[in-house]
């Protein structure tokens, strides 16, 4: 958490404002600032503290309630509050659920927003609760009469109505309405990925003949290709206007790009985020029918097959992404990541030098599983945790047996081969973690799993003991040899 945010929280607490009430006051201040910006007199001459407090009482009470502080307290937090972005504050603290700033979406959205500055017709931006910080940029770049902003989150809908009263925000996606363009983006932060997948499949054709669509689909929905979700994925793959599919790593999403014409083959690539730009790893384009006929469509499985590795394709086999969470998992809200980090877990940490990848199991200490957090403990955790700044790349497992399974998988000869090929496709550890998440393993029942875990722990302990003995023997031999080399100390005269 940034210093400015920590400082503001302390100021709020000093005047008796805590938890979600802080968010309410931040919203009040933004609305108040909008009122000031529309006043030519204020812009020219400014406004005194007492007049500003009086204006807040007159203009914001109906929406945000009575001011819970006096003028002096108001002045202590009003100015400093503008050093903090409201959406970032909500994302960091989790004091209000159902909304995320979504700063990671700026890069994939950059070209899309630029394109729509000069496009024509109505554009639907869907699932804005996951990229709320970009809403203002979208509203500034594209005339509001050409926009519709859809969110299924009641929190997001109400907040946008307060912050942007003239913005065209809706809380239901019209089923039978045809749009000129659609942009939908989600990693499954607040809704089940399968539900999002089916919603997009039902509306994949709801664009005009000359229209376009960009559907950013949670990677979890692509990994879970069973039942109705399998049919939804196939249906989207078979659309003749599907032009390209991109796996964005480590953003946790697949982008399906639909154009305004029929396409013979679908371009396939992995786009890896590298700071404020991206690099592409392209693969051989395939016809729609070939993609849909795969046992499970997956960029990772297809890429491995091109490298001469026959991947496991059965949809019933679990993926690593189903068993654990990454260090900065895009499908987990930041405040939940902080909670995860506070509890004990087993980590599979990853380090890489070029295409050489090292894995190690680490027991992460923390609160015991099942332990509850009271309000004060939660607040302290939100304000002090440094999950966002952590550099270590890892998979985290609440069940150590799952960690043993995947460590064994990737340390085996076949698993090391898979890991090396994946490392050749991306450069950053975080992107590699995402690709690993699509690898599938055998289904192991509870009793055999316990036996495998016991064997693993026994072998692990034996290896540690053997290494410790080897180190001790090595040091003893060094000392014995040193007696023939190092001169004896002599007493000084």
Find the mean pLDDT for residues 187-210.
93
| pLDDT of the residue at 27 | 94
Q: What is residue 365's DSSP assignment?
A: -
Find the mean pLDDT for residues 138-161.
95
Q: Is 490 inside a domain boundary?
A: no
Tell whether 363 and 425 lie within a shared domain: yes
Could you give the CA distance from residue 417 to residue 439 in angstroms, rounded to a whole number? Answer: 12
Find the mean pLDDT for residues 65-89.
93
- The 10s digit of each residue's pLDDT in 444-454 is 888 888 888 88
| pLDDT of the residue at 390 | 66
Tell whether 229 and 358 lie within a shared domain: no
| pLDDT of the residue at 216 | 98
Smallest CA-to-CA distance from 425 within 218, 279, 325, 275 is with: 279
Residue 49: how many other CB atoms lie within 10 Å? 13
Q: How would residue 236 be classed by pLDDT, with cut points 50, 70 and 90? A: very high
Tell whether 298 and 230 lie within a shared domain: yes
| pLDDT of the residue at 358 | 94
Tell whether 130 and 26 lie within a shared domain: no
Could you give the CA distance from residue 332 to residue 253 in angstroms, rounded to a whole number? Answer: 13
| pLDDT of the residue at 387 | 57
Q: Is 408 inside a domain boundary?
A: yes
Find the mean pLDDT for residues 78-100.
92
Answer with the residue of higher pLDDT: 364 or 247.
247
- The 10s digit of each residue's pLDDT in 204-229 is 989 999 999 999 999 999 999 888 99
Q: Is 384 inside a domain boundary?
A: yes
| pLDDT reading at 431 higher than 90 | yes
Tell whether 231 and 295 lie within a shared domain: yes
| pLDDT of the residue at 44 | 63
Smallest CA-to-CA distance from 229 within 217, 240, 247 is with: 217
> Total domain count for the chain?
3
**% pLDDT > 70, the chain:** 97
| pLDDT reading at 492 higher than 60 | no
220 contacts: CB under 8 Å, gap ≥ 6: 187, 188, 193, 252, 321, 322, 331
Tell whether 246 and 345 lie within a shared domain: no
Q: Is 171 inside a domain boundary?
A: yes
| pLDDT of the residue at 369 | 81
Find the mean pLDDT for residues 133-159.
95
| pLDDT of the residue at 318 | 92
Tell whether 77 and 32 lie within a shared domain: yes
| pLDDT reading at 160 higher than 80 | yes
Tell whether 236 and 195 lie within a shared domain: yes
Tell whether 374 and 423 lie within a shared domain: yes
State how far Cα 203 lies from the chain centre.
24
| pLDDT of the residue at 386 | 61
Q: Are 88 and 101 in contact (CB under 8 A)?
A: yes
Find the mean pLDDT for residues 181-205.
94
Three-state secondary structure readout of 205-273: CCEEEEEEEEEEEEHHHHHCCCHHHHHHHHHHHCCCCEEEEEEEECCCEEEEEECCCCCCEEEEEEEEE
| pLDDT reading at 313 higher than 80 | no
| pLDDT of the residue at 491 | 57
| pLDDT of the residue at 389 | 58
Find the mean pLDDT for residues 432-460.
88
| Structural domain range at position 222 | 103-306
| pLDDT of the residue at 378 | 81
CATH number of the domain enclosing 176 = 3.40.50.150
Q: Is 45 inside a domain boundary?
A: yes
Tell whether 78 and 214 lie within a shared domain: no
| Domain limit, last residue, from 306, 328, 353 | 306
The mean pLDDT value of the chain amounts to 91
Q: Which of 152-156, 273-277, 332-336 has the lowest mean pLDDT?
A: 332-336
Q: Is 134 inside a domain boundary?
A: yes
| pLDDT of the residue at 47 | 80
pTM of the shown model: 0.88
Q: Is 262 inside a domain boundary?
A: yes
Could you give the CA distance from residue 429 to residue 394 in angstroms, rounded to a whole number? Answer: 9
CA count, 13 A, side-chain hemisphere, 140:
5
Could you give the CA distance from residue 322 to residue 437 in angstroms, rounded to a whole number? Answer: 8
Tell whether 258 and 123 lie within a shared domain: yes
Q: Is 441 inside a domain boundary?
A: no
| pLDDT of the residue at 383 | 76
Which phi and psi (to 5°) does residue 303 adopt? -60, -40
- The 10s digit of each residue's pLDDT in 351-385 is 999 889 999 999 998 888 878 888 888 887 777 65
Smallest CA-to-CA distance from 398 within 332, 352, 460 is with: 332
Tell whether 232 and 107 lie within a shared domain: yes
Find the mean pLDDT for residues 33-43.
81
């Amino acid at each position: 958490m940034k210093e400015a945010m920590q400082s503001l929280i302390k100021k709020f607490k000093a005047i008796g404002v805590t938890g979600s009430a802080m968010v309410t006051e931040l919203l009040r201040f933004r609305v108040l600032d909008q009122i000031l910006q529309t006043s030519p007199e204020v812009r020219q001459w400014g406004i005194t503290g007492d007049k500003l407090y009086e204006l807040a009482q007159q203009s914001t009470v109906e929406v945000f309630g009575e001011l819970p502080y006096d003028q002096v307290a108001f002045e202590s937090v009003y100015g400093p509050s503008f050093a903090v972005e409201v959406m970032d504050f909500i994302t960091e603290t989790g004091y209000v659920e159902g909304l995320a700033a979504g700063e990671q979406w700026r890069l994939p959205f950059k070209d899309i927003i630029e394109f729509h500055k000069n496009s024509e017709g109505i554009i639907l931006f869907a699932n804005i609760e996951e990229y709320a910080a970009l809403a203002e940029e979208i509203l500034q770049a594209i005339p509001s009469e050409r926009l519709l902003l859809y969110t299924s989150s009641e929190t997001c809908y109400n907040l946008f109505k307060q912050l942007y009263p003239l913005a065209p925000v809706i809380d239901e996606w019209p089923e039978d309405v045809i749009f000129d363009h659609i942009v939908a983006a989600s990693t499954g932060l607040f809704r089940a990925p399968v539900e999002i997948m089916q919603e997009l499949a039902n509306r994949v054709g709801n664009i005009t003949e000359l229209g376009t669509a960009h559907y950013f689909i949670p990677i979890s929905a692509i990994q879970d290709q069973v039942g109705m979700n399998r049919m939804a994925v196939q249906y989207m793959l078979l659309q003749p206007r599907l032009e390209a599919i991109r796996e964005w790593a480590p953003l946790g999403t697949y982008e399906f790009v639909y154009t305004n014409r029929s396409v013979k083959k679908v371009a396939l690539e992995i786009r890896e985020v590298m700071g404020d730009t991206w690099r592409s790893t392209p693969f051989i384009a395939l016809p729609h029918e070939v993609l849909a006929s795969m046992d499970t469509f997956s960029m990772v499985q297809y890429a491995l097959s091109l490298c001469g590795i026959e991947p496991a394709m059965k949809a019933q086999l679990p993926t690593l992404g189903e068993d654990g969470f990454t260090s900065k998992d895009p499908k987990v809200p930041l405040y939940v990541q902080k909670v995860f980090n506070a509890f004990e877990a087993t980590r599979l940490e990853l380090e890489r030098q070029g295409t050489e990848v090292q894995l190690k199991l680490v027991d992460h200490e923390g609160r015991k599983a099942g332990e509850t957090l009271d309000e004060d403990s939660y607040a302290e955790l939100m304000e002090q945790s440094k999950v966002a700044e952590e550099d270590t790349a890892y998979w985290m497992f609440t069940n150590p047996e799952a960690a043993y399974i995947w460590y064994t998988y990737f340390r085996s000869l076949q698993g090391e081969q898979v890991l090396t090929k994946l490392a050749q496709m991306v450069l950053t550890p975080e992107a590699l973690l995402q690709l690993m998440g699509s690898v599938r393993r055998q289904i192991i029942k509870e009793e055999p799993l316990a036996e495998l875990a016991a064997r693993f722990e026994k072998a692990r302990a034996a290896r540690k003991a053997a290494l410790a003995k080897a180190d001790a023997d090595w040091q003893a031999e060094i000392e014995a040899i040193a007696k023939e080399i190092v001169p004896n100390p002599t007493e000084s005269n």
